[in-house]
Every structure is written in structure tokens, then in C-alpha cells.
Chains A and B, each alone.
Chain A
Amino acid sequence: MFGKLSWSAIPWHEPIPLMTGLVLILAIAGTLGLITYKKWWPYLWHEWITSVDHKRIGIMYVLLGVLGLVRGFADAIMMRSQQAMAVGGGEGYLTPEHYNQVFSAHGTIMIFFAAMPLVIGFMNFVTPLQLGVRDVAFPTMNSVSFWLTASGFLLINVSLFVGEFARTGWLPYPPLSGSEYSPGVGVDYYLWAVQISGIGTLMTGINFVTTVLKMRCPGMSLLRMPIFCWTVLASSLIIVAVFPILTATLAMLSLDRVFGWHYFTADLGGNPMMFMNLIWAWGHPEVYILVLPAFGIFSEVFSTFSGKPLFGYRSMVAATMFICIVSLMTWLHHFFTMGSGPAVNAAFGISTSIIAVGTGVKIYNWIFTMYGGRVRFGVPMLWSLGFVFTFVIGGMTGVLLAVPPADFIVHNSMFLVAHFHNVIIGGVVFALFAGLHYWFPKAFGFRLHEGWGVAAFWFHFLGFWLTFTPLYILGLQGMTRRLQHVNISEWSGMLSVSALGVAVTTIGVVCQIVMLLVSILQREKLKDLTGDPWDGRSLEWATPSPAPFFNFAVTPNVEGEEAYWGIKTRAIESQQLSAEPKYAPIEMPVHSPVGFYTAAFATVTGFALIWQIWWLAGLGLLGAWAGFVVFAWRDVHEFHVPVEEVARVDRARREAREALLERIAAEGASA
């Protein structure tokens, strides 16, 4: 009846997962109780859960990503403290069974449920605003994408309390992940959580390729798009190219595990090497899916905070598309040590280091963007400068790892661990924090507190280097990754310094939380009245803050690069806004619960497949399919925003802009 599921699936005798699970259940129950008590359900249901507004979905993605970041960081604290304690004979506090789940969960969550939702959150929130349109190409599909991603994250957290998580690392290499060596449900939790969220991500990719190619406002030719939109296009193209590989690979591994097939087994014609090739054919481009939009965020920040257009815009576009294509040709560098032969290794070594050309060009273009500018060191700019320093060094160690004979002695070492954290934290996470500060006013109508933001930056920056410099050194001393305990006592000192680095980073995390709370408390003082808090250059700053759900009262007409900068300069020069447009009713897509329903049934299906409860899996699939049928036969697709409402919102915006113009004129006169 219930497949492999029984009461013994709950870790009654293991205090850490049991307590974490209980605290989690209490926290969720408490939140749901509060919502019920305060009668927030109708608001949440109508305004958020069923919303197809790209900005709301973007914000929910970012919230999900922050939750993932917190969970993944908790795992990181456990890993660093365990290794610092379990050195030279110590055993630490985590058994191998538990520790191996912790590092597997850390990697899986940080990539799939922290970095991805955050990046996709920014893609969602920013892209339609920058393109001057009202929503993405497929708003309801966008909602389905989000809820499927959330479903995956839910399944991973269920594994804390019911069963176990994978003990095979964030990429489950067979035969270790096969049913013989991993008979538990851990790998199944991994497979179905990633599978369900991966389908969501693929739909996001389709959505954004279509949005960027087909949904731009009049005059917004491809080469007039802000560079962030280019990176979104490049990233989405990679998603569409490689996520099907992930889906197929995980499906094949599931078939091996459940039905005893032989795609990746070592016998009967299967081949584990094939899994490594396929998973990295997805896995390496995945890194660029994350980092290209991050480069886009930095481009926006460098340009805005230098008061100048981006230097070498076309060169940047070329570098972005160059990376987009070459990223698909480098996967083999993840296993140079498999013995592929010198010709193959050399070819992939060169293709890997060639990517550094595109990245190098970008770095120089950002530097020359600051040249001749008036650089303001706001919080987003601090993250960007910290990024240049950190990422250049991470890129350098990356090229070292791309040299096969050098990789032969640092592959899978702590040097490698330090390298990929160096580029993913220094590149992606720094960008996300910069973007959070930069676009927060556009989402909520008030800025984040600068002082706490500066403090958060410095603690994160120092914490990062304090954590990972020792790991580089340990890698050079021969320490390999994923050790539950460390037999060589000489490494104790470096491991302790690294743990101290995590403590410093924790202070940075606390600063971020305080920043958020202080900003909410002081939201009147930090209010963004004009809608253009950073003297921005692209169209999102033409809207009021927070942006209305229809984004633009009248679709903008773009006449050059840096669309909003042109409008703003004209207004300042002529000392007046353009004439009031003729308002018309706006057609917007109706909200739909189909995303939520589908994901709810997908979660049930995933859980049932993990525990092999076949009837429940069938029921879940049927439910998800029924949701789509009901959605496809809906009668009302759109609703109209009345012209009075449009005019009211836009006149308020124009008033704020008039005030801004007068202030600029007064400043000009006094200077």
C-alpha cells in the first residue's frame, strides 16, 4: 500500500535531523497559523500564490532562493565545523552517514534552490521592465515554473524528516548512486527533487528566450537592449539547450535504480563514464547559466554608479554570446583524470581556457566603464568592486585547473573546492547581493539601509577570503574534498582558520538580516519617491517605485541605446516632461491557480515515486494533468484595466517626475 514507506523512515534515534525536522515543522505550522489568524489567506492567494505578474513571481523566486541560501549555509557551517573538529584522530559530531548527506544537500540546494531561483528571480523581475513590456511571453507558464521549483525544494526538505537525502555528492555518480551501493531513498529524493524543479527551469528558459526575442517595446532593437537582457537571452538559450540533457540523464539513472536497467551500471553494457559525460554536458553550462546574468547585473551597476554608458557595449554582447556558445564545449575538464588521452584533454583544456578570453574582455570593459566617470561607492558598487578582485583570482585558478597536467594534482582537491566557491560566491552571489540592493526599491518602494549594507559587504568579503584561502593551501598540501574526518593532524590549523572564516561570514549574514529589518522599520525615511533612486539608465527606472502591475501606462517608444537615459536627458534639457499621452485601457492576463495546483500534484507524484507508492504516483499525475485540462478550457484569458485607473497611476508618476525635474533645475542653478 505505501511502498517502502513505514514509521521507521523517521529518524527517531538521530537527534540532529529529528530536531531540525521538528523545528522546521513548528516554524511552518506557526507561519500557517499566523496567516490563518490574521486572515491573510485571501490576500496571499489572490495577490501572490495565483499571481502571474512577472514581478510578483520574481520576488517569490528571490524569497525561495533566500530560504535555500539559509538552508545551504547551515549545511556549510556544519561541514566546516565538522572538519575543524574531526582532525588528527577527532571524530567530530557528524557520522559519515550524516556528514555525507550534509555535503550532498549543501551542493544540491546551493545550485538548484539558492543560486538558480535567485538568478531566475532577477530575470523575472527585471527583464520585462527593461524591455518596456507588461509581462513575459507566457505569464501562466511562468507561474507553473516557479511552483515546480518550489515543489523540488519542498521535497528536499521533506527528506530531512522522512527517510534520508543522497549520500553521493551533488552529482550522483554511478555506480555509487546505483541501487546496489545506495539502496536507501536518498538518491531518489535527489532525483525527483531535481527532476521536478528542472522541468520548471526548462520552461523558464523557453519563456525568456521567447520574451527577449518577441516581446520588446517599439524601437527596442536587439542592439538597444540593456546588457542584462542580453545575458538573460544567453542564459536562457543555454537552459533550453542543456536542461533536457539533465532531465534525460536523471530519468535514465532512475530507470537503472528502480527497474534494474543498465544505462550507467558497470556491467551488462552499461557505462558509468557515460553518466559523467552527460551530467557535465549539463553541469558545466549550468555554471554559465548562473554567471552570465550575474555579469549582466554587474554591467548595470558599473554603468549606473559611474554615471556613464557601459564601455564597449557591442564588445560585451559579443563576449556574452561567445561564452554562451563555448560553454557547451568544455564539459570534459571535469574528468581530465579519467584517462581520456592527451589529444582530448588538450582540446578541452584549450576550449575551457578560451572562455577566459570572453570573461577577461568583460573585466576590462567594466574597468573602462569607470574611466572618466563619477564613481559613487554605493553598496551595489562595493559588491561589484569586490567581485572584480575575487573573480579575477577565481578565474586564474580556474585556468590552472584547465591545464590538464596541473589538474592531475589538484583535481577533486580542496583547491578545486576553493576555486569553484571563488567564482560562484565571488561571481554569482556577490552579483545577487548587488542586485538585491539595486532593484529592491523598484520592488518595494523604499531603499535598503546603506550602513548595514556596507557592513554586510565587508563581513562577507573578509569571511569569504578567510574561509577559502586556507582551502587553497590545503589543496596544495594534497587534501582531498568530502572528508568526514581528516587523519592528517598538520591540517588542523588551516581547517580552524577556515571555520573562523565561516563565523565571519555568519556576521555578514546577520548584518543582511538586520539591514532588512532596519530598512523595513525606516521605510518612510528610505522611501523612493521618484522611482529613479540611482540615477538609472534603463527603462525600469522610468516606472514609479514600486512598479504598477501593468509596468507602463503607455508602452515606451525607444529611440536609442540607454532608453531611459535618453528620455531623462531630453526632459532635463527642455525642463519639462513629454506631453501627457492619450491613455487607453490595458489588457492584462488573469491570475491562475494552475501553477500551484500542478506543483502540489507534482510534489505528491515525486514523493510517491521516491517511496515507490505507484497508485499515488498515478493519482498525482492524473491530478496535474486535470489541472492543465481545466486551464486549457478556461473562458476568460484577460481582463482590462480601466482607462481611469491607468491615468491615475501615471499622473501620480508624472507629478513625482515634475518634482524631480524642478529639484534638478534648482541644483543646477545653485551650482
Chain B
Amino acid sequence: MKTDRQRVAVLFGGRSVEHEISVISALQLILAIDPAKFDVTPVYIAPNGSWYTGDALLQRSFYAKVPSALATLQEVILLPKPGVGGLLKIGSPESAVRELFTTRVDLIPIDVFLPVFHGQYGEDGCIQGLFEMADVPYTGSDFTSSAVTMNKYLCKRYLGAHGIPVLPAVVVQRGEAQADITGITDGITSQAGFSDFPLFVKPCNLGSSIGISRVKDRTELPAALAKAFKYDTIALVEPCVSQIMEINVSIRKATEIEASVVEIPVSSTGVLSYEEKYLRPGGKKSGPSQGMASLTRIIDPQDLDQDIKERVINLGKRSFELLGCSGVARLDFILDLSNGELYFNELNAFPGSCAFYLWARSHPRVLYTQLIEDMITTALRTHEVKASLDRNIGLKALK
């Protein structure tokens, strides 16, 4: 059946500690996609890395039955080869029989890929690299931007070099810590600005507050590093702004770069834990977690100084542009209340809940359905430009 609707594969799950959050974000996103314009194929990447599709994926209750329920789904793959035109079905007995009689392989045609991942292998350029190899349109930032924004240290260094204010950081390699943690601890605390506690220790390439510790004194530093190294081979040590206010803003690029209203996430402990970000039910209503959309927060705080809001928005737009991002991102800033200094903290190339809750309150308001449509349109346009580039200059050196 020929359809005029764009066939969109929404990819989620993945081999990241933020697997579940990705599922929540994706189910929200799929509900918001305009069915009159887009035909959604949900594609779930299981924790073991296998790809599956099937209508059962649209039910939240399905995920409680993983991995045993995976057997009821269709396994698919995306070949790293241009011109395939979609996802290939694999492993099904029917397709094996059919292949005996025909050379045509089972294909689920896809026009555009919409990755809804948080963290490693999905938000860090890995899957974007696969999309590039397969030469398919995909939404969001490309592989270079994704990779740089996911690496907190590289991102800070790069933005710092372009004049965006960032907090200093010390980077520690897992192998060095394993060999001599005492020496590493001494090395960190002897650096200027790192002898005063508390300090923050973070895995370099993770989001969602997993593996993060707030270290109160020197004796806690080795355990905090060891915790970060459970999840990453690189850890980052940063000074802790004692009088801190976190301010987030979402930036997107449709035709031009736009900013949402800002938000102040509210924490009960001073640091947003993974549980606070994702497991605390939203507001007064209790029920299943709605991901980032359920966090206790103040959106568009009326009593926040207009000047600060503008600085956040301007720094946000500039950082987004410098990093070459696309789609919808969320940028987190730290305001030092003691001196009014504002620092870039991190950029989420695909933020939890796609930051729709910020755009819904922005001026002008952008609804989630529109956000997604714009992301898809941009993806198709970007792919068109890339496809028009000359890749083939013919054989010369080998002749």
C-alpha cells in the first residue's frame, strides 16, 4: 500500500544505563507524533543490543516482561550500507522460508530515523555513525556534535576555548586510578581550586546523574572515583559551587536557532539524583514516572532576574551553535549565587522528554507535535544537502 505519510522509525532503549528513561521518553514522543503525517515504526534496542519492532512495544507494561517477551517481537537490523531503504527483518521463520523462493529480503521501509536515546551508544554519536554509514536521514545532532557534547570534558574544553564560561575540571583515567589511587587523589587535591571540599566526581560520558558523587572530604574521594569508574573509563572532578542555582534552557534549530523559556529544577538534597530526576512521580499526582517531564521544577520563573535569563539564553544559543547541534537540546547552566557568575555545565543532545514541557510554556508556544515535525523536516533537509555532496571523484591514484 502506497502511503503519503513519512515512515518514521522511532528508536529507543539501547545499551546505556539510561535505557528505561529512553523507553519513557520514546513512549511519550510516539503519542505526540501527528499520525496524519507520520507512520511510526517503534524500534526497541534491547539491553543486549538486539533490535526489535512490533506493536507490543507501544504498551508500557510490555517492558516488565523483557527479556522473555522479546521472543514475540520481530528482530530487525539496519545494515551499514547505503540504499537499503529501511530495516531488514531477521530471524523470523517465515522470512527464512520466503527467502527460499525469492531473492527479496523482508524490508520495513523507513524514510527517517528518530533516535530517542539517553546516554552511551545512542546520544554519543555511535548510532549517528551507523546512520551515516547507512546514508539515512536522522533527527537530532550529527555524530560529531553528539560525541563532543556527550564527553563532558571535551565539551567544556571546546566551549571554554570559545569564551563560554565553564568551571575548571580535572580528568582521571580509570587505569591510572586502579594502579595508584592514593597518588591520583594527592594529585587532584594539590591542584589549585581542588583543595577545598566539597568536590563533584562524575563519569565523563554519562548523563542522568548516574555515578555522580558529592565528595565532602579527601577520604571520600577514592570511593567516589571508584563509583564513577563503574560506569566509565574517564572520570571528571569539578569544584562544587556551594551557593548554586541550576538553570536549564532548551535550544532547537528549525529554520533558525530558538530558545525556550528557562527552568529551575528543584532538588531536595542539593544534587539531582537519578531517582529524583526520573523516579519521583510528577507533582501531586502519583503514578508511573513520566521521566524528565515529572521533575519538580519551576518553569519560566517570574522572579528570576531578566538579565540572568537573557544571559542563559544567549550562552545557550551560542554553545548550541558552536557545537554544531541540531534538533532539540537542553543546556544546563550553574549560577553561583555568591557572585552572580554563570557557568555552562552540560548539554543534552537528546534531553529527557525532549524538553517538550519547556517549549509548551514558551513564547510563542511550540507544541510537542510541532517540535517533532520540525525535527523530522530538518533531518530530511540535512540529509538532502549531504547527499548532494560529491563523494566520488573516480579512480585516479589506483589507476
- Same complex for A and B? Answer no
